[in-house]
Amino acid sequence: MLNKIIIYIFLSLFIYSFSHANFDLKARTAILQDYYSGEILYEKEPDRSIYPASMTKIMTSIIAFDLIKSGDLSLDEEFIISEKAWRLSTSGYSSMFIMIGDQVSVEDLLKGIIIASGNDACIALAEGIAGTEEEFALLMTAKAREIGMENTNFTNSSGINDPDNYSTVRDIMIMSRYLIAKHPEFYKMFAEKEFTWDRTGGDPITQGNRNPLLYKNLGADGIKTGYLAVEKYSLASSIERNGRRLIAVGSGFNSKNSRSKESTKLLTYGLTNYDLVEIAKSNKPFQKINVWLGKQDSVEVYTNLDIYKTIKKAKKKLLKVSVKYDGPVEAPIRKNQKIATLRVVYDQELVGEYDLLSSKEVKKVNFISRLIKSINFLIWGDV
C-alpha cells in the first residue's frame, strides 16, 4: 500500500512539473490556436518566413470552395487535363495520376488534392478555373490578403519549389481557420483517409491520406502535410474533442516521425493545460436590462457574436463577467440598439468588452403614464 502511495505522489509531481515546465517544440516555427476563442496558446517564431510546400493546397481548395459556394463552380463540372498537369504525374511528385485529355470532375480533383496531395490535380483545377496556373496563383494571393494573411505570396497551386511561394505558420493558421469556419461541409474531405482514382488505361489507384494524425486516437480531422528539402517537414493540423477545436501549424520538423510526434505533443499541450469557457452565444438572450418609462419594464439583450475565453486549467474562478450600463435605460429603445456593455475580466485584467444589443423595440409610455411613474420614483424610488 505504501508503495502505491509513493508511486501516486511521484506521478502527480511528474505530471505537475511537466504541465508547468517551459514547453518547447522540436520545430523551427510553430503556433497553436484555440479555434473558438481565437486565442493563441503557444507560438515559436510564428512570423518567420517558410516555404509552405503542400500546405499551399489548402488555399487551392479554398478558391474552389468559394466558387462552389457562390454558384460559379460545381462539384460535377469537368475539366480537361493538359500536358502540363499530366507531366507532374510522371516526374516523381505526389500525384493523382491523371492522363492528358482526361475529363475529370472538380470533386475528384479536390479529393486528389486534399487526400492524395496530387500536384497534377492542383494544376488541372487551377487551369480549369483561371485558364492558367499563374492566373490562379494571383487569385490565391488576393484571397490571402483578403482574409488577413499579411506575409504570404503564392506563385503556384501545389507548393512545389519556388522561392517566391512563401508564408508563415501564423498565416497558414489564419487560412486553416477560414477553411473550417467558411466551408465546414467541404472541410470533411480533409478527414477522409483514402481516395480511389479510377484512372484511364490502368487499374484504379487507392492512396491514403498523408496526415499521420488521422490515424491516431486524437480527434484529428485535418488538415495538410508538407515537405520540401529546404524546409523539411511541415503540418497544419486540427482536432475537435470534447467541444473544443484546436488548430496547430508547425514547420521545420526534422523527420516524418518528428512531425507526427511533435504535432501530437503540441495539440495535447493545448487540451491538457487550458479550458474553454463559453460566455455568450451569438443572437441568444444574455440578460434582461431594466427600462425606464417604457411600455415594458425590461428588455433582453444579446451579443451578435460568439464569445469564448480560453484560460489555464483550474483558473476559472479568476474569470469574471459583468454587464455595464447606465440604467435603467430610458425608452424609447430601438431594436438592435446598443444599450449595455459586456465586460470580461481575467485575473483582474480586462480581456474583452462587447456590445449588448436590445432584442426588440420598446416604446415610450404616454404622458399620463410617464407622469405617474415619475411621481412614484420621486416618492418611493420605484421605477
Catalytic annotation, residues:
54, 57, 117
Residue found under cell 484504379: 204
CA 192 to chain centre: 18
Residue with cell 485575473: 347
How far is it, in rounded angstroms, from Cα 219 to Cα 242? 9
Residues in the chain: 383
- CB-neighbour burial class of residue 351 (10 A; exposed 0-12, middle 13-18, buried 19+): middle
The CA distance from 227 to 256, in Å, is 9
Look up residue 345 and give its amino acid. V
User: CB of 292 within 8 A of CB of 256?
Assistant: no
Spatial distance between the Cα atoms of 174 and 150, rounded to a whole number of angstroms: 10
Contacts of 50 (CB under 8 A, 6+ apart): 28, 29, 166, 167, 168, 169, 231, 234, 251, 252
Nearest to 252 by CA among 269, 229, 268: 229
For 76, the grid coordinates are 460535377
Helix 169-182, helix 57-70: angle, nearest 10: 30
Residue type, 272: T
Q: For residue 60, give the amino acid letter.
A: T
